Each structure stands twice: as structure tokens, then as C-alpha cells.
């Protein structure tokens, strides 16, 4: 069966899953989205993802035409409908169709789209040997412009940085905020290990507050590590004992090189490996 895409209450074959060219989601990137994972038929941190979706929508004054409970049920339903157990789920809410002007009041019918797909992870050898990243020249969006805490349909800021990474032969790129502090990567949050302590930029550094980031901070604390949210600079990355990234698609992936500097011993460190193992167990644990 061809994958079935949910659009505002109905399912469509992939080829017929279409949105109007007048939708402000397309015309202006006016909308919000989520990337979610299901493991063994269970959606990981569904409530948290739904909450972040509604917070993103609230921040752009977009009224999602269903309740949080209906949204959660629709996401679960889309997995079941497609007969998937392990899946990547993309939820998109657009502003809806309107006239060719910016004014969101001129739009009607916000669209809710749920796409379910097989997961495509980074190649397995990168989890074993670690990623190489570069720092992008593109600054992460200023929080007073498009706040990175909003997971909006306008991802050009991240795409521009990603292009720099690709050009340098890297699959991820580090983004600094307008103050030159470490913010996050184009689609992942960043963590460093220094003196055995786990460090990550705070939410006001201009980052998306990753659901995986929170899950990893919680499980690291449960495992007895000290975890601190603090301002970090590139120097801290270059001199870190260990570095790893977190994200829904990436899970937890080691970084062994940044801007041509070898990080730590140049191989995934013991804390990174330990946390990755714990994360693997967490996502497969019933009732987590
Ligand atoms: N930062 C950005 C910019 C992202 O797009 C994402 C999600 N891909 C993340 C961080 C990680 O967030 P999460 O753990 O919720 O997937």
C-alpha cells in the first residue's frame, strides 16, 4: 500500500497529498511543524511534541483547528493507519490559503498534515566513529526576529548553515548566536563534556529546546552525572573532552572534530557512549 498522508481529517495516497499553492505555509513559511519518532509502535514523548507544536503555534498566533488530545490521537492514528512500528512522523500546521499578501487575517483553513515515513538515520559508522562538523558563518536567528524556540516552517536560517556544512564535507554545522556564543547545530542540539561535567547551552542562547536534549539531560542526571546549562563559546568546543549532538532523527551522535580541531581523543568518549546506550534503552522501555 502506498503511504497514506493525513491532511485535515482525511487520508490521501502520497501522490495525491496536496496543499494549495495559495497556502501561506508555502508562500511565506507561515506555519509550524514537529518531527517525532515511534519505536516499536509507541510514539516517543508524544505529549511533549504536541505541547511544543502548540507553543510554536501560540507564538505565531496560529490557532490549530483541533485540541491537543485530538492531535495526539491523529498522530497515533497515522502510525496505525500506515501499519508502522518504527517511524519518523512529520506534523505540519500551515496558516492556510489566502491572498497574495502577508496579512495572516486574510487566510482561511489552516491545514494539519501528518506524514509518516521510515526512519533515515545518519550512517551507522558515524555513531561508532563520530561526526565532523564545522562552524557556519550564518548566525542563528536573533530571538527578537524569528525566535529559534519556534519550530516554524521557515527553516532557511538552518538551511543556509547546512549548505555551509555540506560544502565543507560535513553533515552537520554548528551555529553561533548573535553574541557569538554556541547555540546549536542546524537540526540538533549540542552537548560538551568538560572535567566529567555535561554542558549544553541554555534555552536563551537562541536554540530550539530539543525534546531529545531534555530526555538526555534527565537520563544523564539519573545516571549520576552533573549536567549544566551554561553559555559556551567555540573555545569550549575545541577544548572539550567529548562532544555529542541530540535530535529526534539523530538520537545521540558523537562529534570528534570541529573546524579541523580534534575533540578529546578523536574518538567517541566514554560518557557519550554510556549516554547513547542509555538512550537506546529509554526509547524502547515500555511506559517511558
Ligand atoms: N535544533 C533544531 C534547529 C532542530 O530542528 C531540532 C529538531 N530536528 C533540534 C534542535 C532537536 O530537537 P528534538 O530533540 O526535539 O528533535
Provide the domain count of the chain. Answer: 2
pLDDT at 287: 63
Residue nearest to atom 13 of ligand 1 (CA): 210
Percent share of the chain, pLDDT over 90: 95
pLDDT at 157: 98
Task: Tell whether 260 and 134 lie within a shared domain.
Answer: yes
Q: pLDDT-based confidence at 288, cuts 50/70/90?
A: low
Among the listed residues 10, 14, 151, 194, the single catalytic one is: 151
> Is-catalytic flag, 47?
no
213 lines ligand 1 (CB under 6 A): yes
Task: Provide the CA 38 distance to its chain's centre, in angstroms.
Answer: 15
Q: What's the CATH number where 139 sits?
A: 3.20.10.10
pLDDT digits (tens, 9 = 90+) for 227-277: 999 999 999 999 999 999 999 999 999 999 999 999 999 999 999 999 999
| E strand or H helix that includes residue 11 | strand 10-13
Full-model pTM: 0.97
Whether 247 is in a domain gets the answer: yes
Whether 288 is in a domain gets the answer: no
Q: Over 90: is that where the pLDDT of 147 sits?
A: yes
Contacts for 74 with CB less than 8 Å, ≥ 6 apart = 6, 66, 112, 114
pLDDT at 284: 85
pLDDT digits (tens, 9 = 90+) for 73-104: 999 999 999 999 999 999 999 999 999 999 99
Residue nearest to atom 4 of ligand 1 (CA): 187
Spacing, Cα 210 to ligand 1 middle (Å): 5
254 lines ligand 1 (CB under 6 A): no
By residue range, what is the domain housing residue 39?
A: 5-117
Q: Over 90: is that where the pLDDT of 140 sits?
A: yes
49 lines ligand 1 (CB under 6 A): no
Spacing, Cα 67 to ligand 1 middle (Å): 23
Whether 214 is in a domain gets the answer: yes
Question: What does the mean pLDDT of the chain come to?
Answer: 96
Whether 287 is in a domain gets the answer: no
State the CB neighbour count (10 A cutoff) for residue 19. 17
Q: What's the CATH number where 45 sits?
A: 3.30.470.10
Residue nearest to atom 7 of ligand 1 (CA): 187
From 29, 189, 246, mutation site for ligand 1 pocket: most ligand atoms within 8 A of C-beta: 189
Amino acid at each position: 500500500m502506498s503511504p497514506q498522508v493525513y491532511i485535515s481529517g482525511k487520508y490521501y495516497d502520497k501522490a495525491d497529498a496536496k496543499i494549495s499553492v495559495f497556502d501561506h505555509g508555502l508562500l511565506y513559511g507561515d506555519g509550524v511543524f514537529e518531527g517525532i519518532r515511534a519505536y516499536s509502535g509507541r510514539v516517543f514523548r508524544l505529549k511533549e511534541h504536541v505541547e511544543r507544536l502548540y507553543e510554536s503555534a501560540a507564538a505565531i498566533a496560529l490557532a490549530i483547528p483541533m485540541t491537543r488530545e485530538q492531535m495526539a490521537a491523529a498522530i497515533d492514528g497515522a502510525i496505525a493507519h500506515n501499519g508502522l512500528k518504527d517511524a519518523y512522523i512529520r506534523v505540519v500546521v500551515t496558516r492556510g490559503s489566502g491572498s497574495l499578501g502577508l496579512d495572516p487575517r486574510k487566510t482561511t483553513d489552516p491545514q494539519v498534515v501528518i506524514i509518516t515515513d521510515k526512519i533515515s538515520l545518519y550512517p551507522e559508522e558515524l555513531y561508532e566513529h563520530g561526526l565532523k562538523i564545522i562552524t557556519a558563518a550564518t548566525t542563528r536567528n536573533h530571538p527578537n526576529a524569528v525566535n529559534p524556540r519556534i519550530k516554524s516552517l521557515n527553516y532557511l536560517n538552518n538551511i543556509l548553515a547546512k549548505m555551509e556544512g555540506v560544502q565543507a564535507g560535513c553533515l552537520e554545522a554548528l551555529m553561533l548566536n548573535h553574541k557569538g556564543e554556541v547555540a546549536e547545530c542546524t537540526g540538533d542540539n549540542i552537548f560538551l563534556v568538560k572535567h566529567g561535567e555535561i554542558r549544553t547551552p541554555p534555552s536563551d542562547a537562541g536554540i530550539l529546546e530539543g525534546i531529545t536534549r531534555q530526555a538526555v539531560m534527565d537520563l544523564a542526571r539519573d545516571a549520576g552525572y552533573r549536567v549544566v546549562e551554561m553559555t559556551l563559546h567555540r573555545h569550549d568546543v575545541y577544548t572539550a573532552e567529548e562532544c555529542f549532538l541530540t535530535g529526534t532523527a539523530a538520537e545521540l551522535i558523537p562529534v570528534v572534530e570541529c573546524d579541523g580541531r580534534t575533540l578529546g581523543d578523536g574518538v567517541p568518549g566514554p560518557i557519550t557512549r554510556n549516554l547513547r546506550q542509555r538512550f537506546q534503552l529509554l526509547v524502547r522501555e515500555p511506559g517511558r
